[in-house]
């Protein structure tokens, strides 16, 4: 699954990256539709992308995939039973919640950047740390069906594109370009959603 192949003569990739790509698109599509089965595909794609990122020396992103897998089980439960035993509905953060989310992002960035600079051989410790921390915040907000998760993903996904181009992960860079458009669609869909419990059910 890690053999290098040519993609239409434009870029090289691996079957593992392509399968991860497809599962990730399916995950986001199901998230937009508030379908809880997205969490299952999130777990599978995270496991596969963990291997891809290890090969690219993106250790922050690699570790992030492990966290995503763990959080996905919690998020799956939250979407189905997180509101006093009922399916979770879409809601917005309070001002305090937004401040705490921003503070968590900055704190995570500082800790991860220090770790990556001192204990790994990555050549992009600061960028990797900033986007990894942001992704953790986005995942936590998604797990609780906070509409602001889409704002976070839009920022993170836009910044991931040049990082993956730098690392030669062309299909993944294209994937994150698609994620930007899908995150905008998700934001609009959740904003207009009636958020009925029976309709609520997951992703990223």
Q: What is the pLDDT of residue 200?
A: 42
Which residue is associated with the tokens 């699954």? 1
Residue 3 lies in a domain: no
- Residue 127 within any structural domain of the chain: yes
The answer to whether residue 204 sits within a structural domain is no
Number of domain units in the chain? 1
Query: Exposed (0-12), middle (13-18) or buried (19+): which is 72, by Cβ within 10 Å?
Result: buried
> Torsions phi, psi of 30, nearest 5?
-70, -35
Q: Is the residue at 53 inside a domain?
A: yes
The pTM of this model reads 0.82
What's the pLDDT tens digit per position in 56-82? 888 877 888 898 899 899 999 999 988
Range of the domain at 60: 14-199
Residue 114 near residue 128 (C-beta atoms within 8 A) = no
User: Does 7 fall in a domain?
Assistant: no
4-26 residue pLDDT tens: 545 444 355 678 888 888 898 99
In a domain, 2, yes or no: no
SS3 82: coil
Whats the size of the chain, residue-wise?
Answer: 204
Assigned domain for 4 exists: no
pLDDT of residue 193 exceeding 50? yes
For 79-112, write each residue's pLDDT tens digit: 998 878 888 889 999 999 999 999 999 999 999 9
Maximum CA extent, the chain: 53
Q: What is the pLDDT of residue 3?
A: 54
* Model pLDDT, residue 202: 39
Domain membership of residue 154 (yes or no) is yes
What gap in Å lies between CA 186 and CA 66, rounded to an integer? Answer: 24
Residue 118 has pLDDT above 90, yes or no: yes
d(CA 161, CA 165): 6
pLDDT in tens, 140-185: 999 999 999 999 999 999 999 999 898 888 888 888 999 999 999 9
């Amino acid at each position: 699954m890690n053999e290098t192949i040519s993609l239409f003569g434009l870029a090289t990739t691996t079957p593992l990256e392509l399968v991860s790509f497809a599962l990730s698109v399916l995950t986001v599509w199901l998230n937009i539709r508030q379908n809880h089965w997205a969490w299952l595909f999130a777990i599978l794609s995270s496991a596969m992308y963990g291997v891809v990122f290890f090969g690219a020396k993106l250790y922050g992103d690699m570790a992030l995939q492990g966290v995503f897998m763990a959080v996905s089980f919690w998020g799956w439960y939250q979407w189905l039973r997180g509101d006093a035993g009922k399916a979770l509905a879409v809601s917005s953060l309070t001002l305090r919640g937004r401040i705490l989310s921003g503070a968590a992002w900055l704190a995570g960035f500082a800790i991860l950047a220090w770790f990556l600079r001192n204990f790994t051989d990555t050549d992009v410790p600061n960028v990797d740390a900033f986007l990894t921390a942001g992704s953790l915040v986005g995942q936590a907000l998604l797990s609780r069906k906070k509409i602001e998760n889409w704002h976070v993903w839009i920022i993170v996904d836009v910044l991931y594109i040049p990082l993956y181009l730098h690392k030669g992960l062309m299909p993944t860079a294209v994937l994150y370009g698609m994620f930007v458009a899908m995150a905008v669609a998700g934001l609009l869909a959740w904003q207009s959603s009636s958020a009925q419990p029976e309709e609520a059910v997951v992703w990223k």
